Amino acid sequence: MLPADVPLCHLGPSVLLLLQLLLPSASAFFPNIWSLLAAPGSITHQDLTEEAALNVTLHLFLEQPPPGRPPLRLEDFLGRTLLADDLFAAYFGPGSPSRRFRAALGEVSRANAAQDFLPTSKNDPDLHFDAERLGQGRTRLVEALRETVAAAKALDYTLARQRLGAALHALQDFYSHSNWVELGRQQPHPHLLWPRQELRSLAQAGDPTCSDCEELSCPGNLLGFTLLTSGYFGTRPSKPPGKCSHGGHFDQSSSQPPRGGINKDSTSPGFSPHHMLHLQAAKLALLASIQAFNLLRSRLGDRGFSRLLDITPASSLSFVLDTTGSMGEEINAAKIQARHIVEQRRGTPMEPTQYVLVPFHDPGFGPVFTTSDPDSFWQQLNEMHALGGGDEPEMCLSALELALLHTPPLSDIFVFTDASPKDAFLTNRVESLTQERRCRVTFLVTEDPSRAQGRARREVLSPLRFEPYEAVALASGGEVIFTEDQYIQDVAAIVGDSIADLVTLPLEPRVVVAERPLVFRVDGLLQKVTVRIHGEVSSFWIRNPAGLQTQLLVEVTGLGSRGGPGGPLPHFSHVVLRGVPQGAELGQVPLEPRGPPERGLLAASLPPTLLSTSGPFSLELVGQDGVGRGLHRVAPQPCAVVPVLLELSGPRGFLAPGTTAPLSLRIASFSGPQDLHLRTSAKPSFALTSNLSRVHLEQNESAWGRLWLEVPDTAASDSVVMVTVTAKNGEASTMPPTHAFLRLLVQAPAPQDQLPAPAYSTDPVLNTSRPAFHFFTSVTQGGAGGGLVGNPWWTTFGVMLLLLGLGPW
């Protein structure tokens, strides 16, 4: 850790290189927890976003007592770190998983941080309230909030969270980049969120605002005036004479008179000349973020707002059903399990929030049916019958892709079929989409791959024809279960078990070895253990035996809710890396705590040999609980070192029918040389052209391209377009392709409506009529997952993020 008061000139060149890799060239409140390596004690965009969301969620829970449970009491949360797991346990009941809520906050936080990295946003002063473009910044901020509301009402919550992250970034930047704090203001700007209120007392083009400051810390460089201003960053636009700079190590304009700057992004003078006001700026940014969340709550209503942030312990239920003539038993089994889930969970916190149903046969698939009403879902499912068809293969992966596009993240999808896929060419794209959506896919197949008879076939089929299902299941953390018609109803019971609150335990060895037992460890935090064995098994028994270093960050969730106050917390000592699927151990890496123990942040340096690992690998967390008993957790999805990063970004705002939308593509190579072939597609099939189809990159080189998406006049308003870019390294390469996905919303132009004033208090947890004021330190606890982080500066630095939960995966 670096002391906050160490000037950059006193740091060695290797440390400066590290900081340049860690931080973006554009500056704002630092993006996320990784930034704390550069400026310990700073409050980041991630902190502000998550703390505001947790406070508003607590306010929502306090105002709406849970059905069948005692109401929450404010005093139970005072003086405590506010955790998502604690909130959900108090409101929905002990053990209620908060994974989807945490994942939704993660989407918002990543979109917030991306504003400092994406080429279309990082140098735009309007998106950061830079260069005295305060009126323009307010316009863009309100547009982003309006787009959030429109996307949420169109039920595209992924897009809504992206626009919300962009809006919160700009809003929070205002208090760090302007002189609002220096003017002595103690409350957020009263007109920033409402476009029809005029921004007054703004500095004009000819008004000098700053004096020269040659030191890193510049507490007195603002001239004595009462006008609102903000600093210039970089060279676009250039800084006029007498105007303030943003300041800090990355700001080229700060070396031009008047030197110095006024930003309050961090506690470090090397990055923030007004570092001494960082906490005041963060406090106002937090209050303003709470205002924005409450504004969205008033526009969407409590139900819509809860859907936006996935404030529920339940997941969705998605079925992909083969409806050809041989599938009668399988469809009946799906109906029985769906009816069981609907009846058992109706009216409880674990009632599915959304139901998705996608039929398929050959040559068709779809349409997709989505609803939040269990009776409508049951009626739609009950009307499905096995009719026609009967030959193999079928359009299974096309239907699964359609289900993934309409299923909320962190959900389970169940595929019922007795045929191999006709569209196996979609395997890699569906694998990537399962990981992008973090959905687990389980295939229930009544066609054993070793059988040579069964349904009619149009061609001689390979015994390996089910490998696409195996690949998708492995990538998503699911499984493929082969069975027979007479057993399908028993096997289908896995549906009810899989949407429950599960963790995954590692097996040793990972594959069956003759005469050697499979060992798993049961710890004190588990409530029950389910062992699934499928295949040709005659008998079994269960016995109780009584270079540039890659940084790994582990966030352990559920620590604070697993014991009484003051009790000993679980301790994790190391992480084990294993090859997938064989399970061969690649190495063990010790873990070191970062920050307070209850936050559950652990870090490790991975061996350089890992970067040469071409295949996927899994991550196990090993430690002990509070009384010394062993703990093991394994991430449900494998990780991989990706050689190529694709960044796909679109225009701000919506797509209008009858227009052409420019898209921006960045390709970065982390191993070289590479000859990459690029493919693009859009769903629906809008015309899509690109100026880049092939590119040669050496190690650590990047290339940029442009795409143009033509939106037809007939495009439906409030419809979603998914653009996919795929990069593959040559024809003979064994490396899998890399994909980038971009969701865009089509909306016809409409008169600009005004966002109303919030109907809720901006106080974090109290009504503003009370004099007391309470802040909570928040920790958003990530659900389990693994892989290279998508943010470009993380990936360039070789950083991996693993989120392992003590509770749900």
pLDDT tens for 653-676 read 788 899 989 898 988 887 778 889
Measured in degrees and rounded to the nearest 5, phi and psi for residue 628 equal: 95, 5
The model's confidence at residue 798, banded by pLDDT at 50, 70 and 90, is: very low
Q: Can you tell me the distance from the alpha carbon of 192 to that of 647, in angstroms, rounded to the nearest whole number?
A: 31
pLDDT of residue 749: 73
Q: Can you tell me the distance from the alpha carbon of 623 to that of 571, in angstroms, rounded to the nearest whole number?
A: 5
For residues 693-709, give the mean pLDDT: 84
Lowest mean pLDDT among 202-211, 495-504, 653-662: 495-504
The model's confidence at residue 539, banded by pLDDT at 50, 70 and 90, is: low
The model's confidence at residue 138, banded by pLDDT at 50, 70 and 90, is: very high
For residues 574-593, give the mean pLDDT: 86
Considering 149-153, 324-328, 348-352, the range whose residues carry the highest mean pLDDT is: 149-153
pLDDT of residue 586: 86
Which position has the token pair 């002595």? 184
Q: Can you tell me the distance from the alpha carbon of 584 to that of 299, in angstroms, rounded to the nearest whole number?
A: 53
Lowest mean pLDDT among 6-10, 438-442, 510-514: 6-10
Lowest mean pLDDT among 81-95, 292-306, 489-503: 489-503
pLDDT higher for 7 or 479? Answer: 479
For residues 212-240, give the mean pLDDT: 93
The model's confidence at residue 87, banded by pLDDT at 50, 70 and 90, is: very high
The model's confidence at residue 35, banded by pLDDT at 50, 70 and 90, is: low
Specify the DSSP element, H or E, that contains 571.
strand 571-579
Q: Can you tell me the distance from the alpha carbon of 473 to that of 467, in angstroms, rounded to the nearest whole number?
A: 10
- Outline where 525-678 has alpha helix (H): none
Give the total residue count for the chain: 809
Collapsing DSSP states into helix, strand and coil, what is residue 788? strand
- Choose among 352, 356, 329: nearest CA to 340: 352
Phi-psi region of 438 (alpha: psi -120 to 50; beta: other; left: phi over 0): left
Q: Can you tell me the distance from the alpha carbon of 531 to that of 269, in angstroms, rounded to the nearest whole number?
A: 56
Collapsing DSSP states into helix, strand and coil, what is residue 233? coil
Question: In this model, does residue 743 exceed pLDDT 70?
Answer: yes
Question: In this model, does residue 74 exceed pLDDT 80?
Answer: yes
Which tokens belong to 231? 């600093």
Question: In this model, does residue 517 exceed pLDDT 70?
Answer: yes
Question: In this model, does residue 784 exceed pLDDT 50?
Answer: no
pLDDT of residue 304: 92
pLDDT of residue 210: 97
CB under 8 Å to 256, separation ≥6 — which residues? Answer: 239, 245
Domain 314-451+464-497: give its CATH code: 3.40.50.410
Question: In this model, does residue 372 exceed pLDDT 80?
Answer: yes
The model's confidence at residue 688, banded by pLDDT at 50, 70 and 90, is: very high
For residues 99-126, give the mean pLDDT: 91
pLDDT higher for 22 or 273? Answer: 273
Chain centroid to CA 335: how far?
32
Query: Looking at residue 242, what DSSP letter applies?
Result: T
pLDDT of residue 787: 26
Chain centroid to CA 258: how far?
41
pLDDT of residue 168: 97
Q: Where are the domains of the chain?
A: 41-188+277-308, 314-451+464-497, 572-595+614-641, 644-746
Lowest mean pLDDT among 126-140, 518-532, 617-631: 518-532
Question: In this model, does residue 753 exceed pLDDT 80?
Answer: no
The model's confidence at residue 609, banded by pLDDT at 50, 70 and 90, is: low
Question: In this model, does residue 803 exceed pLDDT 60?
Answer: no
Q: Can you tell me the distance from the alpha carbon of 449 to that of 468, in angstroms, rounded to the nearest whole number?
A: 12
Question: In this model, does residue 470 exceed pLDDT 80?
Answer: yes
pLDDT of residue 2: 33
Question: In this model, does residue 232 exceed pLDDT 50?
Answer: yes
pLDDT of residue 795: 27
* Strand partners of residue 604: 552
Question: In this model, does residue 759 exceed pLDDT 60?
Answer: no
The model's confidence at residue 697, banded by pLDDT at 50, 70 and 90, is: confident
CB under 8 Å to 499, separation ≥6 — which residues? Answer: 315, 317, 341, 352, 412
Q: Are 361 and 398 in contact (CB under 8 A)?
A: no
pLDDT of residue 402: 94
- Choose among 782, 801, 786: nearest CA to 97: 782
- Choose among 314, 335, 435, 453: nearest CA to 384: 335
Question: In this model, does residue 778 exceed pLDDT 70?
Answer: no
Question: In this model, does residue 306 exceed pLDDT 70?
Answer: yes
Count CA within 13 A, CB hemisphere, residue 173: 34
Considering 180-189, 490-499, 614-623, the range whose residues carry the highest mean pLDDT is: 180-189
pLDDT higher for 348 or 128? Answer: 128
Question: In this model, does residue 534 exceed pLDDT 80?
Answer: no
Question: In this model, does residue 760 exceed pLDDT 50?
Answer: no
pLDDT of residue 69: 83
Q: Can you tell me the distance from the alpha carbon of 29 to that of 297, in angstroms, rounded to the nearest whole number?
A: 25
pLDDT higher for 803 or 727? Answer: 727
Domain 644-746: give its CATH code: 2.60.40.10
Share of the chain above pLDDT 90, in %: 35
Provide Rg for the chain, Cα atoms: 27
Q: Can you tell me the distance from the alpha carbon of 557 to that of 84, in angstroms, rounded to the nearest whole number?
A: 9
Question: In this model, does residue 67 exceed pLDDT 90?
Answer: no
Phi-psi region of 419 (alpha: psi -120 to 50; beta: other; left: phi over 0): beta
Which tokens belong to 809? 């995966």
Average pLDDT in the chain: 79
Share of the chain above pLDDT 70, in %: 78
pLDDT higher for 398 or 790? Answer: 398
The single-letter code of the amino acid at 573 is: S
Lowest mean pLDDT among 198-202, 501-505, 589-593, 629-633: 501-505
For residues 430-440, give the mean pLDDT: 90
Considering 27-36, 257-266, 520-529, 647-656, the range whose residues carry the highest mean pLDDT is: 257-266
Q: Can you tell me the distance from the alpha carbon of 49 to that of 211, in angstroms, rounded to the nearest whole number?
A: 34
Write down the pTM of the prediction. 0.73
